[in-house]
Amino acid sequence: MTPEGAGSREWRDHWPSVLAAAIGMSFSTIYVYSAGGLTEPIEHEFGWSRAAIGSGITVLTVTGSLLGPALGAAVDRYGSRRIAIPGVLAFCLAFAALSLTGRSIWSWWGLWFALALCGVGIKPSVWTAAIAGLFTRSRGLALATTLCGASLGSIFTPLLTAWLVAHYGWRGAFLGLPVVVGAIGFPIIVLGFHGPSDKQRRGKALGAPVQAAPALTGATMREAILSRRFAALLIGAMAFSLFAIGLIVSLIPIFSSHGIPRTTGAEISATIGVTAIVGRLLTGLLLDRFEPRLISALAMLTPVGTLALLLAMPGSVPAGFVAVLLMGLSLGAEVDAVAFLTGHYFGLRHYGMLFGTINSGLSLSTGAAPLLAGFIYDRWGSYDPMLIGAIPLCLLSAGLMASLGSFPHPNAQRSME
């Protein structure tokens, strides 16, 4: 069978898992894309600083980062489905509980800590580990399609949040978001999401003949963790995530501070999902066909244009649209590219654990980003210092991706043949 034919067969066999995994990814980004629409209403009610409000996400992501390696090991051992299904239910319940926040900042932190514990089962490593194990020839596109779920979240979450806040207040938004998303997404995940080990168990339960899965090969944990490439992947992804998430959660407040109405800012922010889907799919296709480290570097370099536009033309709605659309082309590059490159350089033998560890680093950056963005605004009354500081972080990320080298670990090659 030709490589093209093998890729087509992979899609025929496994497209339901990709669709379900994409839906699952949209759950894992709700708290990020709703933050911009919830910050100001909460600030007005409680008088908390924006840094204090952003610290809720910090609590979640720091806690999640500590659990990331253990989650990856659990995925490697038990399979993704057994973790994802209860994880989605727990996340929805814990997110709705944020509506119970009281005037004490400790109640805010406590509820975000509970969300961190309940939401660990829907982290990106759960979805990507399953898809990476199902696809070989078309792995880049399959992972990109899965991660488009996050872009899907960036389209509807800001608009749905703004509508819920306008009609039911911020507490109603915390309740309504998981209800709407859960009612649509959970049945699709239950019916469609299966990783390689899940498909084997399902076949045995139905009494169908099941072909033994090939042994997964790749670098040992020690080889991978201590390698220069792993350090470059981790640091590059964290640097990109720090400025990307800081920018995303601050988009609506940035536009507001430039004199653009909140509703218009929400509409502009929602367009980021359109180009994010195009950018992710295009990146996935290119990763399958060209030098993946250079494609990854290019994706991480693109947001320099966004930062330049926001700094050069504040208050311009057309410039805001272009800036957001440009950002969308590279949105999630730290997850898309690193999810692919982890398997490319280290194989699938310990994929869940390795990507889970990298995702822990991403969680730390994701948690620090809103706190840092809020601190910058509280200190200087402007987001411009954040935009200026993001430029060197963007250049660092692109440089580290480009420095990875052309040849993967010898035992990783099997997964690409």
pLDDT digits (tens, 9 = 90+) for 221-232: 777 788 888 888
Q: How many helices (H) and strands (E) does the chain have?
A: 19, 0
Burial 75-110 (b: 16+ CB within 10 A, else e): bbeebbbbbbbebbbbbbebbbbbbebeeebeebbb
What is the per-residue pLDDT across 342-385, written as a single tens digit (0 to 9) for each? 888 887 777 777 877 887 787 788 778 877 888 887 888 788 88
> 133-190: per-residue pLDDT in tens?
888 778 888 888 888 887 777 778 888 888 898 889 889 999 999 998 888 889 999 8
Mean pLDDT of 283-307: 85
Q: Once rounded to an integer, what is the mean pLDDT over residues 384-391?
A: 87
pLDDT digits (tens, 9 = 90+) for 53-110: 878 887 887 887 788 777 777 887 788 888 889 999 999 999 999 989 888 889 999 9
pLDDT of residue 133: 80
Enter the tokens of residue 138.
Answer: 């078309």
Cα torsion 369, 370, 371, 375: sign: positive
The DSSP string of 66-78 is: HHHHHHHHHHHHH
Q: Which two tokens stand for residue 373?
A: 């963005």
* pLDDT tens track for 255-280: 887 888 777 877 787 777 777 778 77
d(Cα 16, Cα 42) in Å, to the nearest integer? 39
The mean per-residue pLDDT over the stretch 210-225 comes to 63
Fold of 15-416: Growth Hormone; Chain: A; (1.20.1250)
Q: Which pLDDT band, with edges at 50, 70 and 90, does 415 fall under?
A: very low
Q: Which helix (H) or strand (E) holds 39?
A: helix 35-46
Domain boundaries, given as residue ranges, for the chain? 15-416
How far is C-alpha 64 from the chain's CA centre?
A: 13
Mean pLDDT of 376-400: 86
